[in-house]
Amino acid sequence: MRKNGLDEEGAVKRIINLGIQDYVADLYKDGEISIREAAEILQLNFRQTFEILEKKVGGNVEEEQEIRALKLAKKLADRS
Amino acid sequence: MKVVMDSDVLIKFTKTGCKEAIVSLLKVSIPVRVYNETVTESKGCLDANRIQENIDNRMIQVQGLPSSDKGELEALKLYKSGGFELIVSDDRKFLNSLDRNGIPYLTSSSMVVYLLYNNKISQEDTIKYIDNLKMYISQRQYLAAMSEVLKWVK
């Protein structure tokens, strides 16, 4: 059976790839790996990995990190 | 203010249209690895062309030597070479590492808020830019930044 130009082996590979991408996206979402480590696992370049993670996760910054960054932004602005 | 910018944030700023405001206010440097990731390996992407234009007109400086280090390590080495105020990144694992080493950082959204604090952009534009970033950042990051903007009084 062929669908979207894929034979059975191609379809299985695609399903496995999607599963790996989901697994890597979860690791990234939890902060276990960086985008570059995700790229190494997926054997893709940074840009391709960024695009995948953008769709599957968005970002992964924690609230506490953002609050610390906002405080620093205020401090730097007050100083300038 | 001189900053080292990581690839993810540079791409996000370019895609969301707030890069020009940032590079006109700050001295933005990127390590060679970040240049490769955002421009050389991204041929054909519209934002890669825009980043190259900023490099050509010296709004963004490519600094350091090519190495086999990961981009985060190159960014860290560049920061440690001196003269930089902070690193800008949205990668949680990298930010955790910066936290552990006491290295100051801003995220994409806090950088936009920094422009507001400096009266370089209006509150309306800040909200627009952070809304543009929404699909690229975590909900927690978005809500924290937006909350700060909405309570800000000039």
Whether B97 has a pLDDT exceeding 70, the answer reads yes
Domain count, chain B: 1
The CATH number of the domain where B68 resides is what?
3.40.50.1010
* Chains A–B, number of C-beta pairs less than 8 Å apart: 110
- Select the more confidently predicted residue: A69 or B71: A69
Q: Is residue A2 part of a domain?
A: no
- Domain range enclosing B95: 2-151
Is residue A18 domain-resident?
yes
Reported as a single tens digit per residue, the pLDDT across A26-58 is 999 999 999 999 999 999 999 999 999 999 999
A77:B145 CB<8 A: no
Beta strand residue intervals within chain B, DSSP E: 2-5, 27-31, 60-63, 86-88, 105-106
> CA-based diameter of chain B, in Å?
46
Which of B24, B111, B30, B45 is closest to A54 using CA atoms? Answer: B45
Looking at the complex, report in whole angstroms how far the Cα of residue A2 sits from the nearest Cα belonging to chain B.
31
Question: Would the pLDDT of A1 be above 90?
Answer: no
Is there a domain that residue A12 lies in?
yes
Number of domains in chain A: 1
CA–CA distances in Å: residue B41 to residues A48, B49, B88: 9, 12, 21
A57 falls within a domain: yes
What does pTM read for this prediction?
0.91
Question: Is position A3 within any domain?
Answer: no
Q: Which residues constitute the domain of residue A36?
A: 8-79
State whether residue B61 is helix, strand or coil: strand
Minimum CA–CA partner of A46 in chain B: B37
B45 vs A contacts (CB less than 8 Å): 47
Would you say the ipTM is above 0.90?
A: yes
